[in-house]
């Protein structure tokens, strides 16, 4: 059998890739608008980074990492997410010493998780994410959330819903942890083996279990919101106040906990409630992680960020029937008749391109009619027709495809002629 693409991955072919580029451009423009700067980190990192940065009780670390040993015997892992690497780089490059604070970064690139592939769930997928490091201002929480919401809105999505929660600070979480242990302990035998381990290590993550989500103890579990201390409550109120100020509708869901450890205060998800979207509705997840920088070996630093995948964004667009404006056209196609014209067109094409005009010619020895068809397929706005006669008179026939109008233009005037009419 011939070699096939690995399970859970996809080729993005011309025709599809334009959508990706369109979304990527939108995201970049938005980050520029919000003043988040791009950071590019390696595709693989020392495995230890993710054990510490993602947390060893998470599904990612327990089940989903592509870990391998290199020829020097080092344990490396294909990055399953972006935050840990950004934080590693932040520490390594001493960004905490930069006078420009907070440090606002974004990344976009492939992530790798060994998952059971299904719609919206791949083994290689592209995440766009932002991180704001160094500020403890609830307004930055609102800014980060608003950036994610703006991306979806700017692409035309209507059925999106923001859900927020607070996980509180350390003190609040400890109190809540106690309550969770008391709640689940007596009947922990009825839960999956993962949850049994979570009870000791990180009982909050029981609430995020996909297997036991319908167990009756889940619905009655103590709510973190009842355990927030004054400061955490104030912080959460302030975030909500800013979201309201920014006209961003949201709902509070006290059962929302993020998959990663080290989250505190604000946690949020953006979901699609478009009809026909299927089982997976989370488009974006994020939150505050004030303990993470320290955990990875840096100074105590507050941080907040989100990550979303382009794959799920595209699925949401499809569910809402939104077509991105990505029709590909070219400015000019040169049709030639005869050998002399064919040779001349080689240089003419190069001159057009040098002036920023997107242009193409035939390389398949096509007859004139077939050249016109090729021009049509490429959605050429202008077709420039060159034969021996024209060449002798130093002119060229230019046809505007939309109107069918044809004009004889002096060869020396072709470039300004097309430039004026395209732009
Ligand atoms: P899920 O609960 O769907 O597994 P998660 O909690 O693992 O999500 P995060 O680690 O928070 O997801 O990643 C942020 C976003 O990345 C998700 O909201 C989703 O849009 C996207 N994402 C996560 N895993 C995949 C995947 N395997 N394929 C495509 N997109 C993904
Ligand atoms: Mg997951």
CATH of the domain at 246: 3.30.930.10
CATH of the domain at 408: 3.40.50.800
Domain boundary among 252, 285, 319: 319
Where does the pLDDT of residue 132 fall: very low under 50, low under 70, confident under 90, or very high at 90 and above? very high
Give the number of the ligand closest to the Cα of residue 282.
Answer: 1
Quick one: 234 and 287 in the same domain?
Answer: yes
Pocket lining: 387 vs ligand 1, CB cutoff 6 Å: no
Residues 241 and 133 in one domain: yes
Kindly report the protein residue whose alpha carbon is nearest to atom 29 of ligand 1.
Answer: 121
CA distance 233 to 253: 15
Give the domain-ending residue among 266, 291, 319: 319
- Which two three-digit tokens encode residue 421? 């009419």
Chosen domain end from 295, 319, 343: 319
- Claim to verify: residue 141 and residue 287 sit in the same structural domain: yes
Please tell me if the CB atom of residue 113 comes closer than 6 angstroms to any atom of ligand 1: yes
Ligand nearest to the backbone CA of 127 = 1
> Ligand 2 centre from 210 Cα, in Å?
10
365-404 pLDDT, tens digit per residue, is 999 999 999 999 999 999 999 999 999 999 999 999 999 9
Residues 152 and 286 in one domain: yes
Q: Give residue 311 CA to ligand 1 midpoint distance, Å.
A: 10
- Tell me what percent of the residues of the chain surpass a pLDDT of 70: 99
Specify if 1 maps to a domain: no
pLDDT at 277: 81
Q: Are 304 and 131 in contact (CB under 8 A)?
A: yes
Residues 347 and 310 in one domain: no
Distance between CA atoms of 326 and 316, rounded to whole angstroms?
17
Same domain membership, residue 411 and residue 308: no
Contact 198, 206 (CB under 8 A): yes
Whether 141 contacts 245, CB under 8 Å: no
Find the 338 Cα to ligand 1 centroid distance in Å: 57
Q: Which two tokens stand for residue 158?
A: 């209507």
Q: What is the Å distance from ligand 2's center to 351 Cα? A: 51
Strands (E), 273-375: 282-288, 303-309, 330-336, 359-361
Query: Is the CB–ligand 1 distance for residue 284 below 6 Å?
Result: yes
Residue 377 alpha carbon to ligand 1 centre in Å: 38
Query: Containing domain of residue 417, as a range?
Result: 330-422
Q: What is the pLDDT of residue 259?
A: 59
Total number of domains constituting the chain: 2
| 401 in Cβ contact with 373 (< 8 Å) | no
Residue 162 lies in a domain: yes
Decide the pairing of beta strands 75-78 and 103-112: unpaired
Whether 45 is covered by a domain: the verdict is yes
Tell me, in angstroms, the distance from the centre of ligand 2 to residue 363's CA. Answer: 48
For ligand 1, whether the C-beta of 117 sits within 6 Å is: no
CA distance 342 to 334: 9
Q: Is residue 181 part of a domain?
A: no
Query: Is residue 47 a part of any domain in this protein?
Result: yes
- Assess if residue 8 is contained within a domain: no
Nearest to 24, CA basis, from 259, 309, 284, 352: 309
Q: Which tens digits make up the pLDDT trace of 279-320?
A: 778 999 999 999 999 999 999 999 999 999 999 999 999 999
Based on the domain organization, do 314 and 365 belong to the same domain? Answer: no
Same domain, yes or no: 315 and 345? no
Q: For tokens 């040779």, what's the residue?
A: 343
Task: Enter the tokens of residue 255.
Answer: 């059962």
How many angstroms separate the CA atoms of 110 and 39, rounded? 14
Q: What is the pLDDT of residues 323-367, one digit of tens each?
A: 999 988 999 999 999 999 999 999 999 999 999 999 999 999 999
User: pTM of the full predicted structure?
Assistant: 0.92
In a domain, 149, yes or no: yes
Domain match, 275 and 347 both: no
The preferred substitution site among 23, 282, 283, 308 for testing ligand 1, maximizing ligand atoms within 8 Å of CB, is 282
Residue 308, ligand 1, Cβ within 6 A: yes
Q: Please check whether residue 293 is in contact with residue 87, taking contact to mean a CB–CB distance below 8 angstroms.
A: yes
Residue with CA closest to ligand 1 atom 18: 284
What is the SS3 assignment for 275? coil
Q: Is residue 59 part of a domain?
A: yes
Which residue's alpha carbon is nearest to atom 21 within ligand 1? 309
Same domain, residue pair 380 and 343: yes
Same domain, 263 and 360: no
Write the pLDDT tens digit of every residue in 213-261.
Answer: 899 999 899 999 999 999 999 999 999 999 999 999 999 999 898 756 6
Half-sphere exposure of 112 (CA within 13 A, CB side): 15
Same domain flag for 289 and 339: no
Q: For ligand 1, what atom is nearest to the CA of residue 115?
A: 27
- Residue 131 reports pLDDT greater than 70: yes
């Amino acid at each position: 059998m011939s070699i096939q693409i690995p399970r859970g991955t996809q080729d993005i072919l011309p025709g599809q890739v334009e959508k990706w580029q369109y979304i990527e451009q939108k995201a970049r423009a938005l980050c520029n608008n919000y003043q988040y700067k791009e950071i590019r980190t390696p595709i693989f990192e020392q495995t230890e980074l993710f054990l510490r940065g993602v947390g060893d009780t998470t599904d990612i670390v327990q089940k989903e990492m592509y870990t391998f040993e290199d020829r020097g015997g080092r344990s490396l892992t294909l990055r399953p997410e972006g935050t840990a690497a950004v934080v590693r780089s932040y520490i390594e490059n001493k960004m905490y010493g930069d006078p420009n604070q907070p440090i606002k970064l974004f990344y976009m690139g492939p992530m790798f998780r060994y998952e059971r592939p299904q719609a919206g769930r791949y083994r290689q997928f592209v995440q766009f994410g932002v991180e704001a490091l160094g500020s403890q201002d609830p307004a930055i929480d609102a800014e980060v959330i608003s950036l994610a919401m703006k991306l979806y809105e700017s692409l035309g999505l209507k059925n999106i819903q923001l859900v927020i929660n607070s996980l509180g600070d350390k003190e609040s979480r400890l109190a809540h942890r106690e309550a969770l242990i008391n709640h689940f302990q007596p009947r922990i035998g009825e839960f999956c083996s993962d949850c049994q381990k979570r009870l000791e290590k990180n009982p909050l993550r029981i609430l995020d279990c996909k297997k036991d989500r319908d167990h009756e103890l889940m619905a009655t579990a103590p709510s973190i919101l009842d355990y927030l201390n004054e400061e955490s409550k104030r912080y959460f109120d302030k975030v909500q106040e800013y979201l309201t100020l920014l006209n961003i509708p949201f709902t509070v869901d006290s059962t929302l906990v993020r998959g990663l450890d080290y989250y505190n205060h604000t946690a949020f998800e953006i979901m699609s409630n478009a009809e026909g979207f299927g089982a997976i509705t989370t488009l974006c997840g994020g939150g505050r992680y004030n303990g993470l920088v320290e955990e990875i070996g840096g100074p105590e630093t507050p941080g907040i960020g989100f990550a979303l995948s382009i794959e799920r964004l595209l699925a949401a667009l499809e569910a809402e029937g939104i077509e991105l404006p990505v029709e590909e056209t070219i400015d000019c196609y040169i049709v030639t008749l005869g050998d002399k014209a064919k040779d001349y067109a080689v240089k003419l094409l190069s001159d057009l391109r040098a002036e920023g005009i997107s242009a193409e010619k035939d390389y398949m020895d096509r007859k004139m009619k077939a050249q016109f068809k090729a021009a049509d397929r490429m959605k050429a706005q202008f077709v420039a027709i060159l034969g021996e006669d024209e060449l002798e008179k130093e002119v060229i026939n230019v046809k505007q495809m939309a109107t069918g109008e044809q004009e004889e233009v002096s060869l020396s005037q072709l470039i300004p002629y097309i430039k004026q009419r395209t732009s």
